[in-house]
Amino acid sequence: MDPRGGLDETRVDVDGVGIFVRRRAGDGVPAVFIHGNPTNSDDWLPFLRAHRGPAIAFDLPGFGRSDRPDPARFDYSMWAYARFTERALAVLGVDRYALVIHDWGAVGLLAALRDPERVERLVAFNHVPFGVGYRWHWIARWFWRRRGAGELFNALTTRAAAGLVLRQARPGWRAMPRAFLDSFWPHWDAGTKRAVLRLYRSAGPEALAAAGEGLERLTCPALLLWAQRDPYIPPVYGRRLAARLPNACLEEVPGAGHWAWLDRPELVARVAAELGGAGADR
């Protein structure tokens, strides 16, 4: 239990894959938070503490404290993650929900498109965009999507090197907070490296385009909080997504990089308000 936020931490079995789950019980529609690469549900701790309704965040397979299943059982493609997210919500007893995503948390959007009527609200930070002509950033193009190059890149990445590369994710080439590196680096193991490569290699241009089919069926209110200084997924893609989602509100966030809330902490309260929370953590 997290004494500051009333969060229960547990492990849950989903079709033989153990995942680490943070959860707050309560009445009403839960908010489901899905993290991206290379992080885990720690990304969402400020949001979970700010949100006063029921909430769920879990580490995806291959990331954080969750299992690294054998690829023969789980292929780590974006489609596999979408199916897994759908099954995880079923195991956790989630019917209708609000969805909050960032980066590869977009697999939660893929799951949502399978049954869009269940989604009451979407809040999206800069995430892998489907159906809008996205072109991968340089790390994905030069390394993670290339066989051999990606394996070598991951093998040679040290904590110091990761910290240096991640400086590009913030305006002014600022260092990521130490707590950020402390959160994901201890879990950056062979299983996570494999998951990253397989996930990115499943997402070529044709697959990204196909994944965007049916975006217009997601008619719930959607708040797109798109950082203007994101070198990985720049604002043009937020604009294109907003044009496709029928009930979208796009707010471009100045002075913020890929993990926008690190540069603009007030976004935590903004999301809590959007979800019907009672304000920021105290």
Domain boundaries, the chain: 8-275
Checking if the pLDDT of 278 tops 60, the result is no
In the prediction, which pLDDT does 6 show? 82
Chain centroid to CA 246: 22
Write out 182-204 in H/E/C secondary structure.
Answer: HHHHHHCCHHHHHHHHHHHHCCC
Checking if the pLDDT of 282 tops 50, the result is no
In the prediction, which pLDDT does 279 show? 38
What is the residue whose two structure tokens read 């920021």?
Answer: 280
- Residue 82 and residue 73: Cα distance in Å, rounded? 15
- Residue 267 and residue 47: Cα distance in Å, rounded? 9
Just give the CATH number of 8-275: 3.40.50.1820
In the prediction, which pLDDT does 266 show? 98
- Average pLDDT of every residue of the chain: 95
Q: What is the mean pLDDT of residues 211-218?
A: 96
In the prediction, which pLDDT does 133 show? 97
Give the pLDDT confidence of 87-101 residue by residue, as tens digits: 999 999 999 999 999
Give the pLDDT confidence of 47-63 residue by residue, as tens digits: 999 998 999 999 999 99
In the prediction, which pLDDT does 189 show? 98
Q: What is the mean pLDDT of residues 130-156?
A: 97
Q: Counting Cβ atoms within 10 Å, is residue 147 exposed (0-12), middle (13-18) or buried (19+)?
A: exposed
Checking if the pLDDT of 38 tops 90, the result is yes
In the prediction, which pLDDT does 5 show? 55
In the prediction, which pLDDT does 78 show? 98
Give the pLDDT confidence of 69-128 residue by residue, as tens digits: 999 999 999 999 999 999 999 999 999 999 999 999 999 999 999 999 999 999 999 999
In the prediction, which pLDDT does 2 show? 53
Q: What is the mean pLDDT of residues 159-183?
A: 97
Give the pLDDT confidence of 144-155 residue by residue, as tens digits: 999 999 999 999
What's the pTM value of the predicted model, to 2 decimals? 0.95
